[in-house]
Amino acid sequence: MERLMQSLRIGINEKIYVKDPESSDLGKRIVEQSIIMINKMGFESFTFRKLGERIGSNESSIYRYFENKHKLLLYLTSWYWGWMEYKVVFATNGIANKVEKLERALEILTQTVEKDISFSHIDEVKLNEIVINEYSKSYLTKVVDQENKEGYFEIYKRLVQRLSDMIVEVDGEYPYPSSLASSILEGSLHQYFLKEHFPMLTDCDHNITPTQYFMDLVSRTLNIA
Amino acid sequence: MERLMQSLRIGINEKIYVKDPESSDLGKRIVEQSIIMINKMGFESFTFRKLGERIGSNESSIYRYFENKHKLLLYLTSWYWGWMEYKVVFATNGIANKVEKLERALEILTQTVEKDISFSHIDEVKLNEIVINEYSKSYLTKVVDQENKEGYFEIYKRLVQRLSDMIVEVDGEYPYPSSLASSILEGSLHQYFLKEHFPMLTDCDHNITPTQYFMDLVSRTLNIA
DNA sequence: CAAATATAACAGTATTACTATCATATATTG
DNA sequence: CAATATATGATAGTAATACTGTTATATTTG
């Protein structure tokens, strides 16, 4: 996987950034350090000024890459979902058995993220934590419809669609494949959050993983042929 | 129901407010108008200054009721969940049949909210929209653990617990009652959001309701005796 | 080497999220 | 009824945020 990914790039809607952060050293530092900072201090406290100080660069230089921190969050989360999509497509590619294929996808989508050395400047473990804690904020806005129209959420939508398709493949009679797929993706992030902050609201702990919960849920829900 | 509720009050953790907004006319106007404004302009754009202008009062007077707008959001969402809890408890109270009881609770928790005339200054329909669009923001913060410790999320936690208990009553063997309960509450809000903004990611539309989806999900998941 | 481009440094603006002070209106109590 | 406490309003002020704009300097490219 590492080898392949080294020459792969996550294709992100160009309207999300002003200048492609992958195109320069400064851009990569912006992405790299913003992940560390947002993860540490939370999206609300994070500012371009602080990021500039941290990377020894100027606030106005960062604005030449991203219009504002909301767009940067869209960039980071798009990257994350694009990366997940690659992992799912790659891992399920050769699997003929539909059930096995769905299970493999579920595993990847609901598992804890492990360090991936392929994208050197991106810490996927921290990015996963950011997605758990901040992803909702990227779409729970008053501009969601316009940004959706501009394609800012394409990667996530495509991923839900892929999962939904796999569900249909396993049980063509099941009436709510899209809702189940979106529930799994969103719900997985939520269960990880609860596990960390509201352990009473989840059965997931050091013994039980969100993956087990969702695997079980899907196996109970679908009529597996 | 109306009669009963007129003399009932939703008990909200006193640490959430500086001065009880139910205790004065100004307080009620703050709550009433903030619901209308947050619903219209979104939580991010909403400020105490704007609210002050709108209710013909002073910014600093509002600060005497709520430390900041985050606390106000906690107040509003706590009220909402408290109201939902009353509705669930009231509606399921006399039901002996466990399955029927769970179904009734699910209905209330996943249905579209309708106007409730009991609490005159609170527009429950708009408040439900606020919860759909903003609730996550109330806990996706860096202070969540501290605020949780102070009891700011007690009502919501109690509601999840109630639902979880009902699930256990129906199927004591099911291993993930808390996760299922939290998934339903959070997932219901999410499906309503998707229906409005990302229709491709849900099967819910004008024909299919989130209630149908979750009722079906639960009936497939639990072994109903 | 010239020209274009990228970045840095600095200044400036409107808004936000408060805090503080003081005046006045209203309610409470002795 | 007077004294006093409390609630609200008016105004001002501060530090931080989220930018925009200008100019200088460094780097890349043709």
Q: Which among A45, A191, A221 has the least Cβ separation from residue B217? A: A221
- Could you tell me if A83 and A21 are in contact, meaning their C-beta atoms sit under 8 angstroms apart? no
Q: Which two tokens stand for residue B146?
A: 């501290």
* Residues whose CB is less than 8 angstroms from the CB of residue A59 and which lie 6 or more positions away in sequence, other chains included: A48, A49, A51, A52
Which of the residues B137, B176, B208, B216 would you substitute to probe the A interface, choosing the one with the greatest number of A C-beta atoms within 10 Å?
Answer: B176
Q: Could you tell me if residue B204 is left (phi over 0), alpha (psi between -120 and 50 degrees) or otherwise beta?
A: beta
Distance from C-alpha of A123 to C-alpha of B28, rounded to nearest angstrom:
47
B69 touches strand C (CB under 7 A): yes
The pLDDT value recorded for residue B114 is: 81
* Alpha-carbon torsion angle B126, A135, B180, B204, nearest 10: 60
* Residues whose CB is less than 8 angstroms from the CB of residue A195 and which lie 6 or more positions away in sequence, other chains included: A202, A204, A205, A210
The pLDDT value recorded for residue B7 is: 57
Q: For B10-24, write each residue's pLDDT tens digit.
A: 889 999 999 999 999
A150 close contact with B: CB closer than 8 A:
no
The pLDDT value recorded for residue A118 is: 66
A147 to B125, B148, B188: CA distances (angstroms):
26, 33, 23
Q: Which two tokens stand for residue A189?
A: 């992030």
Give the N- to C-terminal CA distance of chain A in Å, as an integer.
32
Q: Which among A42, A139, A198 has the least Cβ separation from residue B148? A: A198
A80 to A115, A124, A153: CA distances (angstroms):
13, 8, 12
Query: Which amino acid is present at A175?
Result: P
Q: Which among B181, B187, B220 has the least Cβ separation from residue A220? A: B220
What's chain A look like in SS3?
CHHHHHCCCCCCCHHHCCCCHHHCHHHHHHHHHHHHHHHHHCCCCCCHHHHHHHCCCCHHHHHCCCCCHHHHHHHHHHHHHHHHHHHHHHHHCCCCCHHHHHHHHHHHHHCCCCCCCCCCCCCHHHHHHHHHHHHHHHHCCCCHHHHHHCCCCHHHHHHHHHHHHHHHHHCCCCCCHHHHHHHHHHHHHHHHHHHHHCHHHCCCCCCCCHHHHHHHHHHHHCCCC
B18 touches strand D (CB under 7 A): no
Q: Is the pLDDT of residue B1 over 80?
A: no
Which residue has 């660069």 as its token pair? A57
B70 touches strand C (CB under 7 A): yes
Distance from C-alpha of B95 to C-alpha of A82, rounded to nearest angstrom:
48
Per-block average pLDDT, block size 10, for chain A (225 residues)? Answer: 59 92 92 96 96 92 95 97 94 94 97 78 94 98 96 97 97 97 98 98 97 98 88
Query: Which amino acid is present at B63?
Result: Y
Q: For B124-166, write each residue's pLDDT tens digit.
A: 999 999 999 999 999 999 999 999 999 999 999 999 999 999 9
The pLDDT value recorded for residue A6 is: 53
The pLDDT value recorded for residue B224 is: 86
Q: Is the pLDDT of residue B95 over 70?
A: yes
The pLDDT value recorded for residue B160 is: 98
The whole-angstrom distance between B25's CA and the closest CA on chain A is 30
Domain B2-221 classification at class level: mainly alpha
- Mean pLDDT, range B104-130, rounded to an integer: 89
Q: Which residues of A touch B179 (CB under 8 A)?
A: 191, 194, 202-204, 210, 213
- Could you tell me if B148 and B126 are in contact, meaning their C-beta atoms sit under 8 angstroms apart? no
What's chain B look like in SS3?
CHHHHHHCCCCCCHHHCCCCHHHCHHHHHHHHHHHHHHHHHCCCCCCHHHHHHHCCCCHHHHHCCCCCHHHHHHHHHHHHHHHHHHHHHHHHCCCCCHHHHHHHHHHHHHCCCCCCCCCCCCCHHHHHHHHHHHHHHHHCCCCHHHHHHCCCCHHHHHHHHHHHHHHHHHCCCCCCHHHHHHHHHHHHHHHHHHHHHCHHHCCCCCCCCHHHHHHHHHHHHCCCC
Query: Which amino acid is present at B121?
Result: H
B44 touches strand D (CB under 7 A): no
Distance from C-alpha of B174 to C-alpha of B221, rounded to nearest angstrom:
8
The answer to whether A179 contacts B203, with C-beta atoms less than 8 Å apart, is yes
- Could you tell me if B57 and B68 are in contact, meaning their C-beta atoms sit under 8 angstroms apart? no
The pLDDT value recorded for residue A69 is: 96
The pLDDT value recorded for residue B155 is: 96
CA of B30 vs C1' of C22, distance in Å?
A: 24
In B, minimum Cα distance to A70 occurs at B44
Compute the mean pLDDT over every residue in chain B, rounded to the nearest whole number. Answer: 93
C-alpha closest to that of B133 among B87, B76, B182: B76
The pLDDT value recorded for residue A115 is: 78
A136 close contact with B: CB closer than 8 A:
yes
The answer to whether B178 contacts A193, with C-beta atoms less than 8 Å apart, is no
Q: Which two tokens stand for residue A117?
A: 């050395």
